[in-house]
Chains A and B, each alone.
Chain A
Amino acid sequence: MSPPLQTDGRGPGWDDAALIVRLLACDPFGVGGVVLRGPAGPVRDRLCAWIADALEQGAARVKIPCHVSEDRLLGGIALAETLASGTVVREAGLLSRAHGGIATLAMAERMDATVAAHLCAALDRGELVVEREGGSLSAPCRLGVVALDEGIDDERLPVPLRDRLAFSIDLDGLDARMLDDLPEAGFADELDSRTTEAHAALDDEAIDALVRVAASVGVDSTRAVLLAGRVAAIHAALDGRASVSPEDLEVAARLVIGPRARWIPAPEQDEPEPNDETETETETEREPQPEDEAGCENEQDEDERDDVGPRLDEIVLEAVKSAMPDGVLDALRVGTDRRKGAVDRGRAGAAERSVESGRPAGTLARMPQPGNRLAVLDTLRAAAPWQRLRGGGHGRGLRIYREDFRVRRFVRRKESCVIFAVDASGSAALQRLAEAKGAVEHVLADCYVRRDHVALIAFRGTQASVVLPPTRSLARVRRELSALAGGGTTPLASGIDAALSLADDARKRGRTPLLVVMTDGRGNVTRGGEASVARAREEALESSRRVRGTGIPTLLLDTGPRARPRVRTLADEMNARYLPLPRLDAAGVSRQVQQLARESTCR
């Protein structure tokens, strides 16, 4: 292996972490950076300290908070200096300050897509191009990113950015008890000779192996392979070798491709001679749609060259397997990996939110008040023509008068978020479920045109689950809906509760929630999962009253074969509009939802 690590013998987690720090420090821009996933704490602090220490002397270290404004990120007008000097003074943004070093992203899982896109652009191009606030700027910006991702479950660093960072370290995999035995720092000394300029060369066989391995574990991104290649080259150079050896490839595959793996190759693949037919077949089963974007699953491992001898990629593949995330192996072996394919379901909605919320709509002439944002440039523009008259400008400071002030105006279109709580129990029967799906899809088509969000909750068995968090992605809704199975008991109260909590969340994000509950009202399981019709009914009524309490506009669709008073009572308790589905088709439901939406936004 590579030169001695101070962490030798502390288990693979710490060894790899130390190795990643060294590789990263050699060429932060080349490898993009690292995701540190897990809670804040001594483990993360230590890793950050290592990274800081390993970087070249004098290299930039910049912290970027997750809700950084574009002004701060890209640079803008320095208000105080501009006012004092009477000419426009610009200040550098965080990105250009990070040039040549590392930018650390706090709470990276909450970062909005726009900020992430700026980082991606910098990582892609190595330069920052800015066109804003009356000036254009292009500055070198070769930085590495350390993303601190504290996300739980679905919340994660935006995908495009994650794709560009070679490494990720799962902090939970590192034993905090070993911290005392680990060095505080000390990586810098052995990295005297920076290898940035002197990457070792990869031969064709090595590239071939990396591509094959990536393909066989479902890693589609060309970028992942390029990053792995670069890591292998740096690893070789660290070892003082001019060309990449299998060992370097193993390391690169384990550290870069392993954590990205989405499935393990079909068992046949473990044999030296992969069986083409079976491979392709299993693949096809797994991919329902070629245009299934979220999964980017157009993988087809068609081995065209079976003549390769003792294959490099097999060795490398073993390395990858050892580094695959826990649980992925089991989940993926089954082959029905819907959930994993949609790892990023939580993000799409969040990303769109940042695009839409409070869209800037010009400026307004008035004094800034609490909560307003001063439109610096527009204020200056308003004041500029008068400076000579007022005796300002030209180093005499600017004279800004009351009438010059401009504040930014944001238009916040009331976005609605339609939350469907669908009874998928046995009593709701499969055919009814199909109708419900049809209705959801129909509403969806309208929502799509109006750019509204849609969320889907299904309840059956003993619990309700959020099948789809609020999203505008058509493809995802379609996929989840078609996968939605029916059957089991009816935890009605849990379903309503889940819908309410989503609605509450939507409100916090500034959206107007609408609830559409589809059920036949035959709740027979309590919140605790107990099978008791009486108690279940009581709980359902109680949940319904909570709906009324929130005042959220609600539509109750009776999916039973006949309209029943029981469901009607539920609707009354919710203060919901009651509609028996038998008399409605999908288009009718959609019209009702639209009407409800109109009424609720007019309030």
Chain B
Amino acid sequence: MAQFPFTAIVGQPELLLALQLVVVDPMLGGVLIFGDRGTGKSTAVRALAELLPPMNAVRGCPYNCDPADETLRCADGCPRCDGSTASIVAERVPVPVVDLPLGATEDRVVGALDLEAALSRGERVFSPGLLARANRGFLYIDEVNLLPDHLVDLLLDVAASGENVVEREGVSVRHAARFVLIGSGNPEEGELRPQLLDRFGLALEVTTPTDIATRVEVVKRRMAFDRDPRAFLEQFAERDAALTRSLLEARERLATVETHDAVIERAAGLCAALGTDGLRGELTLIRAARAAASLEGLSVVGLDHLRRVAPLALRHRLRRDPLDEVGSGARVERVIGEVFSA
């Protein structure tokens, strides 16, 4: 099925920025997207999959392990890591963007004993799950707020540690599972446990565009795409390719981006003013600002980068105050305004 091209998405600048940031820096800790119905959350994430250039992987490895990286070890079934084959062949594979469908059972997520092999051959073989498939890529959960809590816990834990440990039905396996977690949901259908909110690196709320011209453009493009996907894709192919290039360059550049003390101080000031708990907020904030700078082709982080990514990195880290009539987004904006004008 053809995907709507990323660069054809109208409006939603914050959503597009957040997705690009996690591509540039996969260690940012994922994105949580909350928003109304029909605002294009899923469209944007699926479009992202098409943007990413292929990567090198060991052929036949169910965990997509990187032939160049000796430190990452995977488990049974990988020709390199289990030593069953002497020669390792690298191949270009698309970066996995794995959909975690609602109703997925735990055994499919983490992996389990391969029943077919056990029944027909009496062998005890581990059948890798979605976490294995998402290694080095993205794991997308639509309606993350409808996922059973224990699965959300598990996913966040694996996403943070980069390793999936399976101990069930006599299989004992651990394998690398480094992926960017992207969750989306509609707050009307139930909120995410507050304890889980700040485990996501970035968070944002998307809303329907308010001005008519934008809305018309959204509908027009969608209809054009539905009518003739191929022609539509062609129309945006060049822009998509250009974005892919700049994402790659930004990723290369990221390690060399400099962060001056002034920026770090300002970030600390911002977090203090907002009263966010712990250091995670600050670290994510600075990381995101670096990624933003890199995305613009710059090698030094500026205060404006900090300002741009601050709502993304901080709005879900405020302590929820039910007495506060103003949403946390607005609170962040207000404090940012104060801190930056001071």
Which residue numbers of A lie inside 8 Å of B, CB to CB? 70, 73-74, 86-88, 113-114, 117-118, 121, 124-127, 129-136, 158-160, 163, 199, 201-202, 204, 207-208, 210-212, 215, 220-226, 229, 289-291, 293-294, 296, 298-304, 344, 347-348, 351-352, 355, 359-361, 377-378, 380-382, 384-385, 387-388, 393-394, 398, 438, 441-442, 444-445, 448-449, 451, 472-475, 477-478, 482
Contacts and interface: CB of A to CB of B under 8 A. Distances in A.
A484 to B, nearest CB: 14
A393 B121 CA distance: 9
Q: Which of B1, B100, B130, B210 has the most CB of A within 10 A?
A: B210
B70 interface: no
Nearest to B105: A132
B186 A160 contact: yes
Contact of B122 (A124, A303, A351, A387): A387
Nearest to A482: B325
B188 A294 contact: yes
A301 B212 contact: yes
A221 B37 contact: yes
Contacts of B194: 448-449
A472 B103 contact: no
Contacts of A477: 322
Contacts, number: 223
Interface in B301-317: none
Nearest to A437: B323
Interface residues of A: mostly helix, strand, loop or mixed? Answer: helix
Interface stretch (B175-183, B215-223, B231-239): B215-223
Contact of B212 (A88, A212, A221, A385): A212
Contacts of A352: 189-190
A223 B215 contact: no
Nearest to A359: B148
Interface in B207-257: 207-208, 210-213, 215-216, 218-220, 222-223, 227
A457 to B, nearest CB: 19
Interface stretch (B14-22, B23-31, B38-46): B38-46
Contact of A385 (B122, B148, B329): B122
A448 B223 contact: no
Given A114-B103, A132-B103, 10 more contacts: A73-B103, A129-B99, A229-B223, A351-B146, A360-B148, A384-B119, A441-B323, A444-B322, A449-B194, A472-B191
A294 B329 CA distance: 17
Given A114-B102, A300-B211, A348-B190, A393 B108 contact: no
Q: Which of B1, B119, B223 has the most CB of A within 10 A?
A: B119
Contact of A211 (B170, B189, B212, B325): B212
29 contacts: A86-B119, A88-B115, A118-B103, A121-B142, A131-B105, A159-B37, A159-B189, A204-B220, A211-B216, A220-B36, A220-B208, A222-B208, A222-B218, A225-B215, A289-B326, A296-B36, A344-B188, A351-B189, A359-B150, A360-B150, A384-B113, A387-B119, A393-B119, A394-B120, A445-B320, A445-B321, A448-B320, A473-B188, A474-B191
A131 B42 contact: no
A160 B37 CA distance: 7
A114 B36 contact: no
Given A121-B101, A221-B208, A113 B190 contact: yes
A73 B101 CA distance: 13
A223 B37 contact: yes
Contacts of A448: 194, 320, 322
Given A118-B103, A444-B322, A134 B127 contact: yes
Contacts of B205: 291
B187 interface: yes
B327 to A, nearest CB: 4
B222 A226 contact: yes
Nearest to B195: A449
Contacts of A291: 205, 327, 329-330
Nearest to A222: B38
B187 A87 contact: no
A133 B37 contact: no
B37 A163 contact: yes
A344 B207 CA distance: 18
Given A293-B187, A298-B207, A385-B170, A210 B219 contact: yes
A360 B102 CA distance: 15
B212 A304 contact: yes
Given A289-B325, A360-B148, A393-B119, A222 B215 contact: yes
B69 interface: no
Contacts of A127: 1
A302 B212 contact: yes
Contact of B42 (A86, A124, A393): A124
User: Which 4 pairs show the lowest CB-CB distances between chains A and B?
Assistant: A384-B118, A291-B327, A223-B38, A131-B108
Q: Which of B103, B114, B213 has the most CB of A within 10 A?
A: B103
Contacts of A221: 36-38, 208
Interface in B88-120: 99-109, 112-116, 118-120
A128 to B, nearest CB: 8
Contacts of B105: 131-133
Nearest to A296: B36
B261 interface: no
B189 A474 contact: no
Interface string B264-286: 00000000000000000000000
Contacts of A384: 113, 115, 118-119, 122
B143 interface: yes
B219 A222 contact: yes
Interface string B115-143: 11011101010010110000000000011
B190 A207 contact: no
A361 B153 CA distance: 13
B296 interface: no
B223 A226 contact: yes
B157 interface: no
Nearest to A126: B1
A258 to B, nearest CB: 18
A351 B191 CA distance: 11
A118 B107 CA distance: 19
B96 to A, nearest CB: 13
B112 A381 contact: yes
B215 to A, nearest CB: 5
A318 B33 CA distance: 37
Given A87-B120, A290-B327, A473 B107 contact: no
A366 to B, nearest CB: 16
A344 to B, nearest CB: 7
A361 B154 CA distance: 13
B169 A378 contact: yes
Contacts of A351: 146, 189-190
Contact of A293 (B40, B107, B116, B188): B188
Contacts of B329: 291
Contacts of A355: 145-146, 148-149, 190
Contacts of A207: 216, 219-220, 223
B320 A304 contact: no
Q: Which of A289, A381, A387 has the most CB of B within 10 A?
A: A381
B215 A215 contact: yes
B102 A118 contact: yes
Contacts of B186: 160
Contact of A348 (B42, B100, B150, B188): B188
Contact of B103 (A130, A136, A394): A130
Contacts of A225: 215, 219
Contact of A381 (B1, B115, B208): B115
A444 B105 CA distance: 32
Nearest to A132: B105
Q: Which of A204, A224, A474 has the most CB of B within 10 A?
A: A474
Contacts of B143: 117
A87 B219 contact: no
Contacts of A441: 322-323
A467 to B, nearest CB: 16
A359 B122 contact: no
